[in-house]
């Protein structure tokens, strides 16, 4: 199985979206949505891209948006049978009237969409879900309601999976309490390089929940926020990297030793080309290491410096002497998140964490795992009261249901957590899973186990499939390919 933690990723919201910190009590955008003949278009969807701010036009085409923060936004209007409408607007207090005229879609009668065979479609769709939704714990609570609107095509010659959506994908995320409407314009995944990128417009709608459940959702959103791309970029904009537990290091790649050489620690100001009220412009040549530690100062066992280098692998950062790679100086354990970022062109960054040009920023390592399952709207603001009530908020997965490895004496030696990519499968599917072997004395990944035997148990308690995983540094990946003849029912993995 490919190691999802090593993904290089560019996540893009295609059009400009800007927020200022200033608050206005009366930021209202209103108007009428009409067609090319000036007839009203009822029930058109009107929203600000990548936010939870949106509404629908009424029967007469009238709409109104109440916007809590001043700034520039990308206004999106969509309706079946019409071309998507986009307009950059600036909100600075008061009321604006913006009338919108939609153009009808042009249908080509001889255009034919050829879909893959069912078996290929299932495999392509499973890979799309992994790379688009993600593989974190929250992804298990995500479901695409209308997969039939997704068009996927596999280029077997170049080994690339590409796609787009005919209509916005409706994604239900019960873990964070959102329904995300994502108009997917472009998606591509390169199997050889493990490189994925996608772009589109998104709108967040809250799921209904009880008061007790809502506080749980708020805590989960906080857990996702801290250590995320959004958190880092907002801290960079506000010049608060240190106080927000981030450190950045300049580094260069040594192709012979296949590792990065750290040259020096940087401050956020070292990356800023220009600075004004609304945005900052970033420019930096070469990769940067982002190091994030939250409420866990004990894991900082070794300071990085120019005479040291590092090799990044999932959940572990190994630090060693650059002159003597065999001499390991320290191993930073999973409570610390490490990522690599590359800025390929000048980049405009705004206070809410949005950046323009989106494809100029490439993520690798931990932050590259921020996918749709862990995406928050750009109007998300951490609840300070809730933060004060929380002793510790970590970004990544909550504990999974453990299995146990026992010694002959019956004493628990290690815990094993198994995480599957989803919960429902059909014959011919691959069940992809990840194993975490934990040392119970430290609650960290165990370095003692080399192999793990995993079995798929049928509803009648028989072994349907089995395999042995290679465990490296407490982590292992594997899959079960379900035969076409496998009976339906409720299976379990042990």
Whether the per-residue pLDDT at 138 is higher than 80: the answer is yes
β-pairing verdict for 361-365 and 355-356: unpaired
Q: Indicate whether 5 and 108 sit together in one domain.
A: yes
Average pLDDT over residues 153-177: 93
| Residue 489 belongs to domain with CATH number | 2.60.40.1930
Q: Report the range out of 140-144, 284-288, 308-312, 338-342 with the highest average pLDDT.
A: 140-144
Q: Indicate whether 338 and 423 sit together in one domain.
A: no
Give the residues across from 13 on adjacent strands: 200
User: What is the separation, in whole angstroms, between the first and last Cα of the chain?
Assistant: 19
Asked if residue 460 belongs to a domain, the reply is yes
Extended strands (E) in 239-335: 246-254, 259-266, 272-275, 279-282, 287-293, 308-313, 316-321, 328-332
Q: Where is 122: in which H helix or E strand?
A: helix 118-132
Asked if residue 448 belongs to a domain, the reply is yes
Residues 122, 428 contacting (CB under 8 angstroms): yes
Q: Indicate whether 343 and 427 sit together in one domain.
A: no
Tokens of 114: 């050829």
Q: Which of 205 and 474 is assigned the larger pLDDT?
A: 205
Tokens of 173: 């995320």
Q: Indicate whether 1 and 107 sit together in one domain.
A: yes
Please report the pLDDT score of residue 117 as a whole number: 52
Whether the per-residue pLDDT at 309 is higher than 70: the answer is no
Instruction: Read off the pLDDT of residues 80-110 as tens digits, 9 standing for 90 and up.
Output: 889 999 998 877 778 999 999 999 875 444 3
Asked if residue 296 belongs to a domain, the reply is yes
Q: Indicate whether 254 and 330 sit together in one domain.
A: yes
Name which of 32-36, 56-60, 289-293 the model is least confident about.
289-293
**3-state SS class at 349:** strand
Asked if residue 167 belongs to a domain, the reply is no
Asked if residue 489 belongs to a domain, the reply is yes
Q: Indicate whether 339 and 423 sit together in one domain.
A: no
Boundary-marking domain end, from 96, 112, 128 = 112
If we measure between CA atoms, which residue out of 161, 208, 206 comes closest to residue 186?
161
Residues 166, 200 contacting (CB under 8 angstroms): no
- CB neighbours (10 Å) of residue 168? 20
Q: Indicate whether 341 and 406 sit together in one domain.
A: no
**CA pair distance 384, 301, nearest whole angstrom:** 30
Please report the pLDDT score of residue 422 as a whole number: 59
Q: What is the mean pLDDT of the chain?
A: 75
If we measure between CA atoms, which residue out of 59, 63, 58, 107 comes closest to residue 82?
107
Name which of 185-194, 386-395, 454-463 the model is least confident about.
386-395
Res. 336 pLDDT band, cuts 50 70 90: low
Query: How many separate domains does the chain show?
Result: 3
Q: Indicate whether 8 and 107 sit together in one domain.
A: yes
Residues 41, 65 contacting (CB under 8 angstroms): no
Cα 60–chain centre separation: 38
Name which of 119-128, 183-192, 290-299, 346-355 the model is least confident about.
290-299
Q: Indicate whether 407 and 323 sit together in one domain.
A: no
pTM above 0.75, yes or no: no
Whether the per-residue pLDDT at 189 is higher than 50: the answer is yes
Whether the per-residue pLDDT at 302 is higher than 60: the answer is no
- The percentage of residues in the chain with a pLDDT greater than 70, rounded to a whole number, is 71
Asked if residue 42 belongs to a domain, the reply is yes
Asked if residue 74 belongs to a domain, the reply is yes
Q: Indicate whether 13 and 107 sit together in one domain.
A: yes
Average pLDDT over residues 430-453: 70
Q: Which domain holds residue 439?
A: 402-493
- Give the CA radius of gyration of the chain: 24
| Residue 80 belongs to domain with CATH number | 2.60.40.1120
Boundary-marking domain end, from 60, 83, 112 = 112
Q: Where is 231: in which H helix or E strand?
A: helix 229-237
Q: Indicate whether 327 and 429 sit together in one domain.
A: no
Whether the per-residue pLDDT at 127 is higher than 90: the answer is yes
Q: Indicate whether 243 and 325 sit together in one domain.
A: yes
Please report the pLDDT score of residue 468 as a whole number: 84
Where would I find the H helices in 296-453? 384-389
Asked if residue 318 belongs to a domain, the reply is yes
Average pLDDT over residues 33-56: 92
- The percentage of residues in the chain with a pLDDT greater than 90, rounded to a whole number, is 25
Handedness of CA 251, 5, 373, 76 (dihedral sign): positive
Average pLDDT over residues 401-418: 48
Boundary-marking domain end, from 310, 332, 348 = 348
């Amino acid at each position: 199985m490919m190691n999802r933690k090593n993904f290089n990723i560019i996540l893009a919201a295609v059009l400009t979206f800007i927020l200022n910190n200033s608050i206005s009590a009366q930021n209202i955008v209103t108007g009428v949505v009409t067609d090319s003949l000036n007839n009203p278009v009822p029930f058109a969807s009107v929203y600000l891209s990548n936010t939870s701010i949106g509404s629908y036009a009424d029967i007469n085409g009238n709409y109104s948006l109440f916007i809590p923060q001043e700034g520039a936004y990308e206004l999106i209007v969509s309706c079946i049978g019409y071309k998507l409408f986009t307009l950059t607007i600036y909100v600075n207090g008061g009321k604006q009237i913006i009338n919108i005229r939609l153009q009808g879609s042009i249908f080509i009668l001889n255009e034919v969409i050829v879909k893959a065979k069912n078996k290929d479609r299932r495999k392509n769709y499973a890979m799309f879900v992994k790379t688009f939704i993600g593989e974190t714990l929250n992804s298990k609570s995500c479901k695409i309601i209308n997969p039939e609107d997704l068009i996927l095509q596999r280029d077997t010659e170049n080994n690339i999976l590409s796609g787009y959506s005919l209509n916005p994908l409706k994604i239900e995320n019960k873990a964070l309490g959102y329904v995300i409407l994502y108009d997917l314009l472009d998606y591509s995944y390169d199997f050889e390089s493990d490189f994925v990128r996608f772009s589109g417009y998104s709108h967040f709608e809250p799921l209904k929940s009880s008061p007790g459940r809502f506080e749980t959702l708020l805590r989960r959103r906080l857990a996702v926020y801290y250590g995320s791309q959004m958190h880092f970029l907002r801290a960079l904009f506000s010049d608060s990297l240190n106080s927000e537990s981030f450190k950045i290091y300049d580094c260069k790649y040594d192709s012979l030793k296949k590792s990065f050489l750290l040259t020096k620690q940087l401050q956020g100001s070292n990356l800023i080309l220009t600075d004004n009220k609304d945005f900052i412009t970033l420019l930096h040549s070469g990769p940067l290491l982002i190091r994030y530690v939250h409420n866990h100062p004990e894991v900082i066992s070794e300071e990085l410096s120019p005479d040291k280098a590092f090799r990044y692998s999932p959940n572990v950062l190994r630090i060693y002497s650059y002159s003597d790679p065999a001499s390991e100086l320290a191993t930073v354990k999973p409570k610390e998140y490490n990522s690599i970022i590359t800025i390929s062109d000048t980049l405009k960054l705004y206070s809410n964490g949005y950046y323009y040009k989106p494809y100029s920023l490439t993520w690798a390592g931990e932050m590259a795992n921020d996918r749709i399952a862990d995406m928050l709207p750009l109007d998300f603001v951490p609840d300070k009261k809730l933060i004060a009530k929380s002793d510790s908020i970590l970004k990544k997965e909550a504990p999974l249901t453990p299995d146990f490895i026992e010694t002959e004496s019956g004493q628990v030696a290690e815990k094993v957590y198994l995480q599957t990519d989803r919960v429902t499968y059909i014959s011919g599917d691959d069940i992809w899973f990840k194993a975490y072997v934990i040392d119970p004395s430290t609650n960290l990944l165990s370095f003692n186990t080399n192999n793990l035997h995993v079995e798929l148990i049928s509803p009648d308690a028989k072994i349907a499939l089995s395999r042995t995983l290679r465990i490296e540094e407490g982590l292992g990946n594997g899959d079960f390919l379900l035969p076409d003849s496998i009976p339906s029912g409720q299976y379990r993995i042990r």
